[in-house]
Amino acid sequence: MNVEANASSYDAIVIGAGVAGLYQLHKLRSLGMSVRVIESASGVGGTWYWNRYPGARFDSQAEIYQYWFSKELYESWQPSERFPAQPESERWLNHVADKLDLNQDIEFNTRVDSAHWQEADGSWAIRTDKGDRLEARYLIACTGMLSAPLEDVFPGQSTFQGQICHTSRWPKEGVDLKGKRVAVIGTGATGIQATQSIAPEVESLTVFVRTPQYTIPMRNPKYTEEDWKHWSKNFTYLKDKVLNTFAGFDYDFDGRSWHTDTPEQREQTLEKLYNDGSLALWLSSYPEMFTEAEVSEEISRFVRAKMRARLNNDADLCKLLIPTSYGFGTRRVPLDTGYLETFLRPNVKAVNCRETPIEGIVPEGVLMQDGSVHEVDIIVLATGFDAGSGALTRIDIRGKEDCSLKEEWSNEIRTAMGLQVHGYPNLFTTGAPLAPSAALCNMTTCLQQQVGWITDIIQYAKAEDKTVIEPTKECQDEWVRHHDEVTNQTLLPLVDSWYMGTNVPGKPRRLLSYCGGVNNYNQHCVELARNNYPGFVFA
């Protein structure tokens, strides 16, 4: 296997050294395979390397945002709080890489530019921005669901005389915000975290709101050694539990129904889960929230009332910051720490950029369509990502007969369970479209499950003396049909957001994350493996 002269040859190339890529490297190495990880950052961490903006933190509890393959590893890290911030998550992943001695097999500061399938010998020819030429039997893209930032959003950005920065490209050395006039554009989970964190230190903060978000106050107690001993004792329980719930958390819909509960019981349940300060209200209250417009509206009403109280019933703020055009949970629900209260500060102003859209950026600041300019020193773009597909379509990936993934996905995004794509043999993906991921899943659960399945199928092929793995067209078609069927039973496809790809102009509309449940998805994957992978061709 060496079609390209002077190419370095490996059994597998993994793209990305985040949560999935690190685990994938570990797993494949344990099969005795030669593996190289290509990582564009200067260190490990993926999401937790890139998202250094003030306030960045995850909202799965630390006891389940974990790897499950080693109890010793679990016990060796002591999270400082229930929802640790970015610096701690980055340190944690460095700790994992050190413990497993992974860095020696990672090429940092290097980006994969292209990957072309070589039919003649069943391998991938890979080129990087450093000019490296690599070859590998398997190519595994652990490129992340939310890693292709939408950075170039407004005309005139390069003319801005101050500093402009996308949240996921926040400089390592930080940005001096003290005493500055700052604009935050975007009020998704990222914009919310940035807004609440930046406000106290800046001279003035202008937040541009196009679509408001339902948001829940985060309850984030510190974790002691005793707490971690408690969670460590529950390691096996948690490890099994997360794979058997709807969203990969330790909480779940537990058979409670909106229709059989009395109004008092509903109120009690919503109140209790709201006060948990986690995503439990969303992912473990009433499943009808996702499928029945009336239930969705009732639960939305409950959350709106909480938000109104937090905004001191200020009519203007309530109108701008409380959603009414879509239901609670049909977009990603963020947890916040004083986000709404931030707008009561004298140095914070909310601007309605749905009514008057942003026209562009001018040297002095943000230009609105009515000609007004908000003059600022720093612009924070919390404008999100080309989710799911973006990280892959930004690489020139070509499969059989030179088919281009970018071209195919510009028409329609199709995958076989988000794990492979028909026409692209030996290409495997994690956090990709049509698998459970960020939209409705605790990421460490989904990513490990996907890495585990990929490792198993590669091991199976090896045992069968086969070297090429590809899903049939029928297998992929069936998954897409099932995915759409499950999606269409919910309210999710009726709402615009990155979930549906509508935040990227021209992107084909399809729910990017599988919403049939992590538990059911995992069961399906297990069954496939148990039955020797029907729908997959081995050659």
Interacting residues toward ligand NAP by CB under 6 A: 57-59, 146, 153, 185-191, 193, 208, 210-211, 332, 353, 358, 382-385, 438, 498, 503
CB closer to ligand NAP out of 166 and 180: 166
CB closer to ligand NAP out of 118 and 157: 157
Q: How far is the CB of 381 from ligand NAP (least distance, A)?
A: 8
Q: Where are the alpha helices (DSSP H) in 199-292?
A: 225-233, 235-242, 263-275, 280-283
CB closer to ligand NAP out of 100 and 148: 148
CB closer to ligand NAP out of 56 and 427: 56
Q: How far is the CB of 400 from ligand NAP (least distance, A)?
A: 33
CB closer to ligand NAP out of 321 and 469: 321
Question: How many Å apart are CA 339 and CA 139, to the nearest integer?
Answer: 41
Alpha-carbon 159 to chain mean position: 31
Q: How far is the CB of 311 from ligand NAP (least distance, A)?
A: 18
Q: How far is the CB of 335 from ligand NAP (least distance, A)?
A: 6
Question: How many Å apart are CA 491 and CA 300, to the nearest integer?
Answer: 13
Q: How far is the CB of 189 from ligand NAP (least distance, A)?
A: 4
Q: How far is the CB of 209 from ligand NAP (least distance, A)?
A: 7
CB closer to ligand NAP out of 183 and 270: 183
CB contact set of 501 (below 8 Å; sequence gap of 6+):
387, 388, 389, 413, 507, 508, 509, 510, 512
DSSP letters spanning 64-132 = TSS--S-HHHHHT---SBSS-BHHHHHHHHHHHHHHTT-GGGEE-S--EEEEEEETTTTEEEEEETT--
Q: How far is the CB of 172 from ligand NAP (least distance, A)?
A: 19
Question: How many Å apart are CA 437 and CA 452, to the nearest integer?
Answer: 15
Question: How many Å apart are CA 16 and CA 46, to the nearest integer?
Answer: 7
CB closer to ligand NAP out of 258 and 499: 499
Contact 512, 393 (CB under 8 A): no
Question: How many Å apart are CA 243 and CA 441, to the nearest integer?
Answer: 10
First to last CA, the chain: 15
Which residue's beta carbon is nearest to the bound ligand NAP?
188
CB closer to ligand NAP out of 112 and 353: 353
CB contact set of 231 (below 8 Å; sequence gap of 6+):
63, 238
DSSP letters spanning 251-273 = ----S--TTTS-HHHHHHHHHHH
Beta bridge partners of 36: 13
Contact 335, 218 (CB under 8 A): yes
Q: How far is the CB of 321 from ligand NAP (least distance, A)?
A: 12
Question: How many Å apart are CA 363 and CA 159, to the nearest integer?
Answer: 5
Q: How far is the CB of 57 from ligand NAP (least distance, A)?
A: 6
CB closer to ligand NAP out of 448 and 513: 513
Q: Nearest 5°: phi and psi at 244?
A: -120, 25
